[in-house]
Amino acid sequence: MKIVASIQEPDMLDMAVSAKANFIELRLDMMEGDLAGTVELIRARTVLPLIATLRSRDEGGRFEGTSDDWFAIIEPLVRHVDLVDIETRYREHAPKIMSHGVQIIASLHRPDMPTRFELEQIALELRLFGDIPKIAVGLRSQAELLDLLAYTSEAPKPICVSIVGEQFRCARALLPLFGSELAYCHVGTPTARGQYHVEELKQLLEMLR
Ligand SMILES: O=C1C[C@@](O)(C(=O)O)C[C@@H](O)[C@@H]1O
């Protein structure tokens, strides 16, 4: 299991490194300016694996361009990162991105809790174009939380399962214990509601294990 420090400003890199995150996610949809140049500079400052994420507005981010716009932003910086997060809507570009030798996190975010069958179908679809499927869902009851934990425990690995929103944020500490490969955290400014700080999650996992 890897703890990912999700950052939206290059200045947060040092805090991510000192918090001893395993991976660093660069939320490119929250950054300004020459993104390829920024990512190249970040690459030169850390050996930690870097995840490039350009999150669409529909799935909780700020990017509003077309699929081709997405590729035009990502392609010039792929050589500086280790993994690229690709939403289903951008899947057409996955083979070209993968040809650069990076791993693909194939992601889907939705505000509700799918059925077990739907979760299995979503994961199968994500595995068609990515190395690690990532499914983030919205929970509305303890029963749905238990269903998500059971699904995560029984799903083929690797898989990343997370939640959307503040409700049932304890799931962020439990899902890694049930087999989720990546746990997304912040190092001062959350990139999504409900995130724990890297150090908080480390302490929680230490106590819960
Ligand atoms: O998909 C995810 C998970 C996330 O949305 C979260 O809820 O922690 C944070 C995003 O930066 C990341 O790409």
Q: Is residue 16 very low, low, confident or very high in pLDDT (cuts 50, 70, 90)?
A: very high
| Residue 53 CA, closest ligand 1 atom number | 13
Q: Answer for the pair 189, 8: CB distance below 8 angstroms, yes or no.
A: yes
The arithmetic mean of pLDDT across residues 186-206, rounded, is 97
**What confidence score (pLDDT) does residue 146 get?**
98
Cα 197 to ligand 1 centroid, rounded to whole Å: 13
pTM above 0.80, yes or no: yes
Pairing of strands 103-110, 132-137: parallel
What are the tens digits of pLDDT across the range 35-93?
999 999 999 999 999 999 999 999 999 999 999 999 999 999 999 999 999 999 999 99
**What confidence score (pLDDT) does residue 37 get?**
98
Of 161, 168, 159, give the one whose Cα is nearest residue 194: 168
Query: Atom 12 in ligand 1: which residue has the minimum CA distance?
Result: 184
**Cα separation, 139 vs 114, whole angstroms:** 10
What are the tens digits of pLDDT across the range 122-137?
999 999 999 999 999 9
Dihedral sign for Cα 60, 61, 64, 69, please.
negative
Q: Is residue 193 very low, low, confident or very high in pLDDT (cuts 50, 70, 90)?
A: very high
> Which residues lie with the beta carbon below 6 Å from any ligand 1 atom?
6, 25, 27, 53, 55, 60, 85, 107, 136, 162, 184, 191-192, 195
Of 2, 64, 30, 73, give the one whose Cα is nearest residue 191: 30
Phi, psi of 182, rounded to the nearest 5 degrees? -130, 140
Cα 184 to ligand 1 centroid, rounded to whole Å: 6
Domain containing 6 — which CATH number?
Answer: 3.20.20.70
* Cβ-proximal residues to 177 (8 Å cutoff; 6+ apart), any chain: 205, 208, 209
- In this structure, what DSSP letter does residue 95 have? H
Which residues, listed in sequence order, are joined to residue 56 by a DSSP beta bridge? 63
Catalytic residue among 20, 96, 100, 109: 109
Cα 192 to ligand 1 centroid, rounded to whole Å: 6
**What confidence score (pLDDT) does residue 163 get?**
98
Q: Is 179 left (phi over 0), alpha (psi -120 to 50) or beta?
A: left
Task: Give the range of the structural domain holding residue 42, as residue numbers without chain letter.
Answer: 2-208
| Residue 164 CA, closest ligand 1 atom number | 7
What are the tens digits of pLDDT across the range 80-104?
999 999 999 999 999 999 999 999 9
User: Is position 134 annotated as part of the catalytic site?
Assistant: yes
**Residues in the chain, total:** 209
Question: Does the predicted interface ipTM exceed a cut of 0.90?
Answer: yes
Give the residue numbers of the binding site for 3-dehydroquinate: 6, 25-27, 55, 172, 191, 195
- How many independent structural domains does the chain possess? 1
